[in-house]
């Protein structure tokens, strides 16, 4: 309402009221001048010393869970605000259970809109409950504030650049329906107490047995006794599992061809469930994926370890990993095979099978490692010579309670 024309009209009415001695003209002119002054003050200072922030803890959740965060607006001045509109930009994967939501100009984003009225030096809080409908590392913000005079004629806007992040872990499901065998390093034999051998601790030598790998031959003992002797390792109950995750869902190293989101999410969910099962079983578990993290273009590489903190780190990597593969999964398997301790069980989770994958499996087996292949979807072909399992995706991937897991052993 504040403009030069309204000021001229107000002063003319005031002067005419004084000259003609008509109170009505003077009062009308004073009202116009007062309204113009109030409009000027609101237009200039409405967003001055107005603070906005989001408050939510914890900043981590699992897929399908709901989180509650608080929107806090504070007016730190004497001038009250008749109205204040807050538009907070959120990813579409975070769905508010109530409130007004409008589309955003940016892809896969929307705005959560709130309207406030604030008195002088007042703080207002509103609680918002949202459901996490996908795994990922999501940015909340920026936000835009809009306010103006009580007449709604002048409007001023301000951007709040603060961005908060929410980490949503992938869903974890039990693997009992998958029927995974005891992951013994030299086969699928079952026993009540799994006992393995630590190749880094040699306690003596024994007679050579047919089938012993070349690396196991104890050459010094062989030369001394003039007969083939094999190294005898110290027995241990600790066993290592290396989970190899293939981010390629289209085949032939689809770096620039996109991905199938439903298959990709199922692959990541399977990897999360396997790592969770392995850690709970007490295995030293590592995670290797040919996708990259936001911190750089290097692939995911978490060496085998155990404990809840290590599990949280693997789930965090699975939440943040980008779908673009940086190399074929078979190349990653060959690259990491040389650093894996002998006898490690490699669980390869993939939606496609290609020549690099076969070469990687062969390299792992030649290195003395057991390979378990988990195929996701109906397109991937089984590989001979290794244990094959299939996770079907004929139903929607988010309907995980009904997923069909069928074992197919070669």
Whether 242 and 214 share a structural domain: no
Whether 9 and 135 share a structural domain: no
Which has the higher per-residue pLDDT, 377 or 5? 377
Whether 298 and 337 share a structural domain: yes
At residue 45, the pLDDT reads: 87
Give the pair of three-digit tokens for residue 157. 């806007």
Which has the higher per-residue pLDDT, 186 or 33? 33
At residue 247, the pLDDT reads: 92
d(Cα 96, Cα 373) in Å, to the nearest integer?
Answer: 39
CA distances from 271 to 236, 268, 289, 290, 300 (A): 26, 5, 10, 13, 13
**Is residue 371 within 8 Å of 348, Cβ to Cβ?**
yes
Percentage above 90 pLDDT, the chain? 44
State mean pLDDT over 363-371. 91
Which has the higher per-residue pLDDT, 117 or 256? 117
Q: Is residue 41 part of a domain?
A: no
Q: Is residue 45 part of a domain?
A: no
Q: Is residue 378 part of a domain?
A: yes
At residue 183, the pLDDT reads: 44
177 pLDDT band (50/70/90 cuts)?
low
At residue 83, the pLDDT reads: 92
Whether 215 and 245 share a structural domain: no
CATH code of residue 256: 3.40.50.410
> pLDDT tens for residues 22-34?
777 666 666 765 6
H or E element at residue 358:
helix 355-366
44 pLDDT band (50/70/90 cuts)?
confident
Which has the higher per-residue pLDDT, 194 or 279? 279
Q: Is residue 43 part of a domain?
A: no
Highest mean pLDDT among 3-17, 151-165, 183-197, 264-278: 264-278
State mean pLDDT over 239-264. 81
**Is residue 289 within 8 Å of 317, Cβ to Cβ?**
yes
At residue 75, the pLDDT reads: 96
> pLDDT tens for residues 370-401?
999 998 888 888 999 898 888 876 544 444 54
What count of Cα atoms within 13 Å lies in the side-chain half-sphere of residue 203? 7
Q: Is residue 44 part of a domain?
A: no
| Strand-pair category, 370-376 with 387-391 | parallel
Strands (E), 361-407: 370-376, 387-391, 405-407
Whether 87 and 223 share a structural domain: no
H or E element at residue 14:
helix 4-20
State mean pLDDT over 190-219. 66
233 pLDDT band (50/70/90 cuts)?
low
Number of domains in the chain: 4
Which has the higher per-residue pLDDT, 299 or 296? 299
Residue 319 has pLDDT above 60, yes or no: yes
**C-alpha torsion 362→367→368→370, nearest 10:** -40
Whether 287 and 386 share a structural domain: yes
179 pLDDT band (50/70/90 cuts)?
very low
Give the pair of three-digit tokens for residue 89. 């930009």
Q: Is residue 314 part of a domain?
A: yes
Whether 204 and 292 share a structural domain: no
Q: Which residues constitute the domain of residue 218?
A: 196-236
Whether 264 and 332 share a structural domain: yes
At residue 125, the pLDDT reads: 95
409 pLDDT band (50/70/90 cuts)?
very low
Whether 316 and 301 share a structural domain: yes
> To the nearest whole number, what is the mean pLDDT of the chain?
81
Whether 338 and 398 share a structural domain: yes
Report the range of poorest mean pLDDT among 22-26, 221-225, 227-231: 22-26
């Amino acid at each position: 309402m504040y403009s030069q024309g309204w000021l001229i009209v107000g002063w003319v009415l005031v002067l005419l009221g004084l000259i003609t001695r008509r109170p009505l003209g003077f009062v009308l002119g004073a009202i116009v001048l007062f309204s113009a002054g109030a409009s000027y003050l609101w237009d200039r200072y409405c967003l001055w010393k107005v603070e906005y922030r989001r408050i939510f803890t914890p900043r981590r959740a699992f897929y399908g869970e709901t989180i509650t965060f608080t929107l806090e607006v504070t007016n730190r001045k004497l001038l009250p605000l008749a109205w204040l509109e807050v538009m907070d930009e959120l990813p579409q994967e975070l769905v508010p259970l109530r409130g007004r939501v409008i589309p955003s100009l940016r892809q896969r984003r929307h705005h959560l809109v709130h309207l406030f009225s604030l008195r002088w030096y007042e703080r207002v809080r509103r609680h918002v409950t949202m459901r996490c409908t996908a795994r990922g590392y999501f940015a909340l913000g920026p936000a835009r504030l809009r306010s103006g005079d009580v007449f709604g004629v002048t409007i001023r806007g301000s951007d709040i650049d603060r961005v908060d992040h929410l980490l949503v872990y992938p869903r974890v499901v039990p693997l009992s329906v998958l029927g995974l065998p005891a992951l013994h390093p030299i086969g699928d034999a079952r026993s009540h107490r799994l006992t393995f051998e630590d190749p880094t601790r040699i306690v003596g030598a024994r007679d050579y047995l047919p089938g012993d790998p070349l690396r196991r031959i104890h050459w010094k003992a062989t030369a001394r006794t003039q007969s083939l002797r094999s190294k005898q390792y110290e027995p241990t109950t600790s066993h290592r599992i290396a989970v190899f995750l293939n981010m390629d869902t289209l085949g032939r190293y689809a770096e620039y061809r996109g991905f199938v989101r439903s298959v990709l999410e199922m692959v990541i969910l399977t990897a999360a469930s396997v790592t969770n099962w392995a850690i709970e079983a007490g295995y030293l578990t590592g995670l290797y994926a040919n996708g990259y993290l936001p911190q750089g273009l290097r692939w995911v590489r978490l060496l085998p370890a155990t404990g809840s903190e290590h599990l949280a780190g693997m789930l965090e990597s699975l939440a943040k990993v980008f779908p673009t593969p940086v190399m074929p999964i078979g190349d990653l398997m060959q690259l990491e095979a040389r650093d894996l301790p002998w006898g490690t069980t490699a669980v390869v989770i993939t939606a496609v099978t290609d020549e690099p994958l076969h070469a990687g499996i062969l390299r792992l087996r030649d290195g003395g490692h057991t390979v378990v292949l988990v195929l996701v979807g109906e397109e991937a072909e089984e590989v001979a010579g290794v244990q094959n399992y299939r996770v079907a995706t004929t139903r929607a991937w988010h309907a995980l309670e009904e997923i069909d897991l069928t074992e197919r052993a070669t």
